[in-house]
């Protein structure tokens, strides 16, 4: 391929007029980035190449997407875009004794990368020289920058705007159309009754009906009541509003939205959501301590940190000389700030052959058929991440010959070890409030979020998430009639509680607790930590034990009754994901992590949990649905005729009048509590001799 170097050390020189004429055909395609445009100048859309990589990074002057040397031709063929800004960072080791401060050397007065991108290299030992060029495809004409006098004004402005653009991964400002909440006029002078009401951290129920969702806590008297009913079948019976009309108590907070940062507060008098600047004090009146929740939101208190340091050193094998591992499958992922939940799940996911085949095996086809903006395509970003982890391209050991050459040339060519999944995290979490933040998250919730995206974005004929899929048989028995009902539901995770009562070192725990209290009273250092040792078999047993069914409606009695439910495996997965539920809520609303040690077996036999179906002598509950609950309409008694209701069954909910409603009872789905924090997640490969299908 022909290459001409213009104004940059080549044999040919071109006059300013000729340079302008060269760029004339491409001027309509060159754009200046505007506010809101994302400029990807630190990472390739298809790989983890960056300006630090050997081939640098090419940024399209029209789409502002970045591409490594292996992928730039694909974008050119697909879009026909010809003009790219080529960015390259050179890292040079400083000469001993040379003067220099903390700031790196800059070429062309432009430093287009944040120094954080080279956090592995000390600026006291290395200098960074950033080089920028315009490259015109398909002939690879290069124009060194800056060339203010020679380049057309549009090209100069666009190039400078690209070089100075901010990272696309910075948290954006809220949308301008989003209405800003105002402080309620009642917040400062709110009267709270001293009636002794204390609100538990769970188990809420409307005090006027049986609803357990969309519940609101009145901040004056502590009443827990349901919200208004919505035409899509959600919501409640409007008892919170009725209570306001009866009492005039104006403010209520929605249960389930209380976090250390605030809560959803509604003013019935002002008829809109509001801010309560004194929300912490108002909640504390009913036993909800938001301030302590903030201290303990990560499950650790200050006096817990020191013991954790020594444990971390043990885990990291501090003081032991370890041999670094390189190559395919040994590529690390950099922590982006509390992103260990994402890193752990994705490392586990791409250790599974089915996911390797689906994304890395189909990588050429996925990339070739990717949309014009591959940063917003799930399959492209999954293939990119899988290739980054499995190719070994970003986990290479330094060669001895390279080290000698670098010493002779006094030049450092850093090998990129590890990948930074910024683009992947930005895409997969863009519509999720929690995952898009830098707060600690729950690996189990992220795993289910990922599986949902995998199933919504099929890749080829194989659905890799099927390796986690299994059927759960639920046997529900009416305690009064003794009749049973068998149902099945799909699941991807086996959730196990911590069986604290099964601890094998209870005497040690009692002695430790006594010593801890004595040390705390005497203000001495706490004794050496003693954890409860829980056999995994005890947690597994809890999965199969009967549990009470709340608000059970017996079709045999056609009335509410006591019911119990047991669960079994109707089919087994190829890989079983197990979640140990270590977090709970105390009566003080503080999330607490159960500090336990669970002994995991090398082999797991769960054949005794195989579902058997309806047994001889068992009688099934009649297939009768519970009565339809139609909430009262506070605005009137208008209702739809049966014919109208029938016609609206398949209509989009937005088109149905709020006079036409049916309360639908759903059962068998997941209901993960909002307060679940980071929990243990691991994958077990199970060999099943007789798999149930």
Reference 31, options 148, 169, 165, 123; nearest CA is 165
| Residues 215, 224: Cα–Cα separation, whole Å | 6
| Residues 646, 628: Cα–Cα separation, whole Å | 15
- Phi then psi for 67, rounded to 5 degrees? -140, 140
| Residues 126, 237: Cα–Cα separation, whole Å | 67
CB distance 87 to 130 below 8 Å = yes
| Residues 282, 197: Cα–Cα separation, whole Å | 12
Q: Which residue has the tokens 């992922």?
A: 333
206 labelled as ligand-binding?
A: yes
- Phi then psi for 33, rounded to 5 degrees? -60, 135
What lies within 8 Å, CB to CB, of 630 at 6+ separation is 661, 662, 663
Cis (ω within 30 of 0) for the bond into 690?
A: no
| Residues 593, 616: Cα–Cα separation, whole Å | 44
| Residues 349, 443: Cα–Cα separation, whole Å | 12
> With b meaning 16 or more CB within 10 Å and e meaning fewer, what string describes 625-636?
eeeeeebeeeee
What lies within 8 Å, CB to CB, of 532 at 6+ separation is 500, 503, 505, 509, 594, 595, 596, 597
Reference 237, options 203, 257, 210; nearest CA is 210
Reference 288, options 190, 195, 199; nearest CA is 199
What lies within 8 Å, CB to CB, of 199 at 6+ separation is 217, 222, 224, 255, 286, 287, 288
| Residues 670, 445: Cα–Cα separation, whole Å | 11
Q: Which residues fall in the annotated binding site for Zn(2+)?
A: 206, 209, 226, 239
Q: Which residues fall in the annotated binding site?
A: 206, 209, 226, 239
């Amino acid at each position: 391929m022909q290459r001409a170097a213009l104004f940059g050390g080549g044999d040919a020189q071109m006059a300013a007029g000729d340079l302008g004429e060269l760029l004339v055909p491409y001027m309509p395609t060159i754009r200046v980035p505007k506010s809101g445009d994302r400029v990807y100048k630190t990472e390739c859309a298809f790989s983890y190449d960056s300006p630090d990589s050997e081939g640098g990074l090419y940024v399209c002057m029209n789409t502002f997407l970045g591409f490594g040397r292996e992928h730039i031709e694909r974008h050119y063929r697909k879009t026909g875009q010809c003009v790219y800004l080529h960015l390259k960072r050179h890292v040079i080791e400083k000469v001993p004794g040379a003067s220099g401060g903390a700031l790196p050397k800059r070429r062309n007065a432009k430093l287009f990368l944040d120094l954080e991108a080279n956090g592995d290299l000390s600026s006291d030992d290395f200098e960074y020289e950033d080089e920028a060029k315009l490259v015109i495809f398909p002939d690879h004409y290069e124009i060194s920058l800056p060339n203010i006098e020679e380049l057309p004004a549009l090209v100069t402005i666009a190039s400078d705007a690209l070089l100075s653009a901010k990272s696309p991964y910075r948290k954006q400002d809220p949308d301008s159309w989003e209405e800003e909440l105002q402080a309620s006029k009642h917040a400062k002078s709110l009267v709270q009754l001293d009636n002794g009401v204390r609100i538990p951290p769970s188990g809420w129920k409307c005090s006027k009906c049986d609803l357990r969702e969309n519940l609101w806590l009145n901040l004056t008297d502590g009443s827990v009541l349901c919200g208004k009913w919505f035409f899509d079948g959600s919501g409640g019976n409007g008892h919170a509003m009725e209570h306001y009309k009866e009492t005039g108590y104006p403010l209520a907070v929605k249960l389930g939205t209380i976090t250390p940062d605030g809560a959803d507060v509604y003013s019935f008098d002002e008829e809109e959501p509001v801010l309560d600047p004194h929300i912490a004090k108002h909640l504390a009146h009913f036993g909800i301590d938001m301030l302590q929740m903030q201290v303990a939101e990560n499950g650790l208190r200050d006096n817990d940190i020191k013991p954790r340091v020594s444990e971390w050193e043990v885990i990291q094998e501090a003081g032991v000389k370890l041999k670094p591992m390189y190559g395919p499958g040994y590529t690390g992922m950099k922590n982006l700030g509390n992103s260990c939940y994402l890193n752990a799940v994705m490392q586990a996911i791409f250790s599974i052959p089915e996911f390797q085949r689906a994304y890395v095996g189909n990588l050429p086809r996925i990339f070739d058929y990717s949309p014009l903006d591959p940063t917003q395509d799930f399959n492209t970003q999954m293939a990119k991440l899988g290739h980054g982890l499995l190719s070994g391209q970003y986990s290479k050991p330094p060669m001895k010959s390279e080290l000698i050459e670098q010493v002779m040339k006094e030049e450092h060519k850093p090998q990129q070890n590890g990948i930074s999944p910024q683009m992947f995290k930005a895409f997969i979490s863009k519509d999720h409030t929690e995952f898009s933040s830098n707060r600690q998250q729950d690996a189990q919730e992220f795993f289910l979020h990922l599986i949902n995206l995998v199933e919504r974005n099929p890749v080829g004929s194989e659905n890799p998430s099927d390796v986690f899929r299994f059927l759960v048989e639920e046997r529900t028995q009416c305690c009064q009639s003794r009749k049973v009902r068998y149902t099945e539901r799909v699941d991807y995770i086996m959730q196990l509680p911590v069986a604290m009562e099964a601890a094998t070192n209870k005497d040690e725990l009692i002695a430790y607790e006594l010593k801890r209290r004595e040390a705390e009273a005497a203000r001495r250092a706490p004794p050496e930590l003693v954890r409860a040792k829980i056999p995994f078999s005890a947690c597994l047993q809890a999965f199969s034990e009967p549990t009470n069914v709340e608000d059970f409606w017996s079709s045999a009695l056609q009335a509410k009754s006591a019911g119990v439910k047991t669960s079994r495996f109707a089919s087994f997965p190829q890989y079983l994901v197990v979640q140990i539920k270590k977090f709970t809520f105390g009566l003080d609303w503080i999330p607490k992590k159960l500090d336990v040690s669970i002994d995991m077996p090398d082999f797991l036999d769960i054949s005794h949990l195989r579902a058997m179906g309806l047994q001889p002598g068992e009688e099934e509950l009649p297939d009768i649905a519970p009565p339809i609950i139609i909430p009262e309409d506070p605005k009137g008694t208008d209702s739809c005729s049966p014919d109208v209701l029938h016609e609206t069954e398949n209509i989009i909910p937005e088109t149905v009048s709020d006079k036409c409603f049916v309360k639908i009872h759903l059962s068998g789905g997941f209901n993960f509590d909002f307060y679940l924090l980071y929990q243990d997640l691991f994958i077990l490969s199970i060999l099943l001799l007789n798999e149930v299908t």
